[in-house]
Amino acid sequence: MDVPNGFDAVLHPPARLQIAAVLAQAQDAEFALLRQVTGTSDSVMSKHLSALAEAGYVALRKANANGRQRTWASLTSSGRRAFSGHVKALETLAASAGLRLAPAP
Amino acid sequence: MDQAEALAALAAKEKAEEQLAKAANCPPWRHAAFGLLMAGIVASPAFSFAIRTAILIAVLAAIAILVQSDRKRTGMFINGYRRGRTRMVASGLLIVVLLLYGISTYYGLALGDSLTPLLLGLAAFLIATVASVIWERVFVREMCA
């Protein structure tokens, strides 16, 4: 089957889609929360965030809290557009099979 | 990419949204704190200019503190006016608070009645606290839909 319009290879890995899903709802989110939601390690999360930032989908900032430096991420407007288009592409692809979405495990 | 992969990706997205809803859980004091801020604004016309100004400055400072507290507690900040069904709740509350503030200003400043603004402030506290609880429920329902 052809890949539908809007499909975005940068957002294809599930962890990146999950990061974008969280950031689409929150104004910003801390590294630890994103790692917890995606269930990835620090190094894997760093790589995903770097890839999203490199694509211009995520803005990263460092902030000090209780003497420790923490990384905060937010979705850029192009990231928001890409996420929305990618989700629509996934829904189109899923619907074309005539399947219903199964509840998340 | 095939249909099964698309379904798996959408399921992963939904799982992330469900976890987000859990992480965004607000304790009762947080709802009450928001109600108190709205009450402060609405009740402020009951007081003299100096106290009114001090209340409004305190409310602005408290908003900043609440945002910081949310970030520290949950690891994120969700804007009350975010897109989605919750915007209806936030917009409705804004209209009600503005209406109460307008009435309070009329009674407090034009008529010199300080009791009515205080009573309206109490009403604003109750309405805003309940609206905050409703907002959270709508958000959780939207994330877990």
Band of the pLDDT at A104, cuts 50, 70, 90? Answer: very low
B4: closest chain A residue by CA: A94
- Mean pLDDT over B7-12 rounds to 93
DSSP E strands in B12-137: the ranges are: 76-77
Contact A26 B72 (CB under 8 A): no
Report pLDDT digits (tens) over B126-137. 999 999 999 999
Which residues, numbered 72 to 101 in chain B, qualify as contacts with chain A under a Cβ-Cβ cut-off of 8 Å?
72, 74-79, 82, 84
A28-30 β-sheet, strand order = A58-65, A68-75, A28-30, B76-77
Contact B10 A22 (CB under 8 A): no
Report pLDDT digits (tens) over A58-103. 999 998 877 888 999 999 999 999 999 999 999 998 888 654 444 5
The reported pLDDT for the residue numbered A95 is 85
In angstroms, the separation between the Cα of residue A36 and the nearest Cα of chain B is 9
Kindly tell me if the per-residue pLDDT of B122 is higher than 60: yes
**Integer Cα distance of B144 and A60 in angstroms:** 27
Please classify residue A70 by burial: count the beta carbons closer than 10 Å to its beta carbon, then call 0-12 exposed, 13-18 middle and 19+ buried: middle
Does the pTM exceed 0.80?
A: yes
- CB atoms closer than 10 angstroms to residue A102: 11
Question: Which residue type does A14 have?
Answer: P
**Integer Cα distance of A87 and A4 in angstroms:** 11
Contact B10 A37 (CB under 8 A): no
Chain B touched by A80 (CB under 8 Å): no
**Integer Cα distance of B28 and A1 in angstroms:** 50
Going from the C-alpha of B1 to that of each of A8, A90, A94, B7, B41, the distances in angstroms are: 11, 10, 11, 11, 54
Contact A26 B19 (CB under 8 A): no
Chain B partners within 8 Å of A30 (Cβ): 71, 75-76
Tokens for B78, please give them.
């969700």
Contact B7 A27 (CB under 8 A): no
Report pLDDT digits (tens) over B108-117. 999 999 999 9
Which residues, numbered 15 to 74 in chain A, qualify as contacts with chain B under a Cβ-Cβ cut-off of 8 Å?
17-19, 21-22, 25-30, 32-33, 36-38, 65
Going from the C-alpha of B71 to that of each of A32, A80, B44, B95, B99, the distances in angstroms are: 12, 21, 28, 27, 30
Question: Which residue type does A39 have?
Answer: G
> What DSSP character marks residue B127?
H
**Integer Cα distance of A84 and A87 in angstroms:** 5
Q: Which helix (H) or strand (E) holds A71?
A: strand A68-75
